[in-house]
Amino acid sequence: MFSGLPSSFVITGGSGTYFVTSTNQAIIANSDPFNGSLYSTIPNDVAGDTSVSLTFSDTAGSTPITVPVTVKARTVSNVVTVTPSASQAASCGTSVCAGGDAQVSVKLAQSGVPLTNRLVRFDVISGDVRFITSPPGQTEQDDLTTTALTDGTGTAIVRIRVLASAPGQTALIAVTDTSSGFAQTVAISIAPSTNAALNAQPSTIAFKGNSATSCASGLSADVIVFGGKPPYQVSQPGTFTVTPSFLNSSGSAFTVSATGQCTDSTPIAVVDSNGGTATVTVSNKIGDAAATTPDIKVSPTTAALSTCTDIATVAVTGGTGGPYFVASGSTVLTVRMSTSNVHLGTIQRAGTTAAHSDASTTTSPIPVAFSDGKTSASVSVTLGPGGAQGICP
């Protein structure tokens, strides 16, 4: 039995009027006499596995039956947070767009103490949702089940992908603490893909040659595609190399590479499964004496951290093509570039002593700049209105 969750026993025989006594009434209280064959009770909180004996008796004086019970601590928090990707269309609201992705986080604690390095299993019960099991930057692999270890705050985080063809629905996943066996069911709201506008960013790219007599060759820029209804088809203009020409999911990227051919305006079309189209306009012009590269860009340019466990993902493109680094930030934030994908950065609340001392004087939004060493681009990070506005643990 688990603290805070009901458990039931079926009783047969005897007089039909029963009562139950407990060896530890602080955990499970004695019952008043009751009629019927079903007895249900909700154990109170325990710090760890606690043994309790329940004795079932009837009013006719029949031989009682004693049932040994182990009451376990409830370790999975009541609130499991599902945070859709910042790149999805605002029209989907708090739901996850079909074809989109989201972060799922859960915190494990016992008697208020975070449970660290604890294995948590996530399983799809029903609905058009899958867990992303591949590392960032690699070909996406999705599965019906996955696991994650809790970090220093007792938080386990995984990412989910909603199937591109998913209609509006509520999917269900189970979150299980494998050490105690405690499980909790989580509902995930899914919005149909027709609610999400197709978009490709950056929508304009400008290449420039390294001399006054030639256009750029060998330079490249990444374009992030999101919204609409995946999969997407990307057109192949003769003046640039575009790879790949087919994208499976929202948030994927294709690369535009200059081949030395000059052009003022070449359109590259992105077409989704609904026939919706987004256009990226690319130019390649004669340069100056020194080589130039496209300006560095970030997407999205705004992010919101509502709680201390929220994580915002930022795509960094353009410039020299990487590696990129964090040019400026804040002591109340932890900003990192992915070690496996040079184009992805993450922003979350910091829990350091310095962050505590600065939390009361920090004003929101906070600018966070990413750079390639030549130019930079900023993301405006808003804290709150939830727990992230104050001091985070």
Q: Which CATH architecture has domain 199-285?
A: Sandwich (2.60)
CB neighbours of 55 closer than 8 A, spacing ≥ 6?
A: 20, 21, 22, 64, 65, 66, 67
CB neighbours of 59 closer than 8 A, spacing ≥ 6?
A: 15, 17, 18, 19, 33
pLDDT for 151: 92
pLDDT for 194: 58
State the average pLDDT over residues 38-65: 91
pLDDT digits (tens, 9 = 90+) for 312-370: 899 998 887 778 888 777 788 888 888 777 888 898 888 765 556 666 667 778 899 88
CB neighbours of 86 closer than 8 A, spacing ≥ 6?
A: 300, 303, 304, 312, 313, 314
pLDDT for 289: 55
Sequence spans of domains, the chain: 7-71, 81-195, 199-285, 297-388
pTM: 0.45
Residue 358, phi then psi, degrees to nearest 5: -95, -10
Residue 347: alpha-carbon gap to chain centroid: 13
Tally of CA atoms within 13 A in the half-sphere of 303 that contains its CB: 32
Work out the angle at residue 379's Cα, subtended by the Cα atoms of residues 375 and 384, and round it to the nearest 5 degrees.
160
Residue 332: alpha-carbon gap to chain centroid: 21
pLDDT for 135: 86
CATH fold for domain 297-388: Immunoglobulin-like (2.60.40)
**Does residue 129 contact residue 164 with C-beta atoms inside 8 Å?**
no
pLDDT digits (tens, 9 = 90+) for 242-296: 999 998 877 788 999 999 999 999 999 999 887 889 999 999 998 875 555 678 8
pLDDT for 238: 87
- For the domain made up of 81-195, the CATH class stated in words is mainly beta
State the average pLDDT over residues 66-87: 84
First to last CA, the chain: 31
Q: 81-195 with 199-285: one CATH topology?
A: yes
